[in-house]
């Protein structure tokens, strides 16, 4: 990075509730986490976080559309 590793200029991707829910559903139906993450353009850690969050309660998401950074 030009900023010496400073991540303040990084824009985070925002995903809808439906997108997160579908990603988690795919894993829970037997798809491998790595495969789902790759197919959806996510990091495996992001997907793991969503799975963990879904086990604690309903997922949260942005409005109606998926925004990719």
The predicted structure's pLDDT at residue 67: 43
Say yes or no to pLDDT of 69 above 80: no
Which residue matches tokens 């959806």?
40
Helices (runs of H) and strands (runs of E) counted in the chain = 3, 0
* Residue percentage of the chain with pLDDT more than 70: 75
CB neighbours (10 Å) of residue 57? 7
């Amino acid at each position: 990075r030009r900023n010496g590793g400073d991540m303040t200029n990084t824009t985070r991707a925002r995903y809808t509730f439906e997108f997160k829910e579908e990603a988690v559903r795919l894993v829970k139906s037997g798809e491998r986490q790595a495969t789902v993450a790759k197919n959806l353009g996510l990091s495996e850690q992001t997907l793991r976080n969503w799975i963990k969050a879904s086990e604690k309660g309903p997922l949260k998401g942005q409005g109606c559309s998926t925004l990719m950074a």
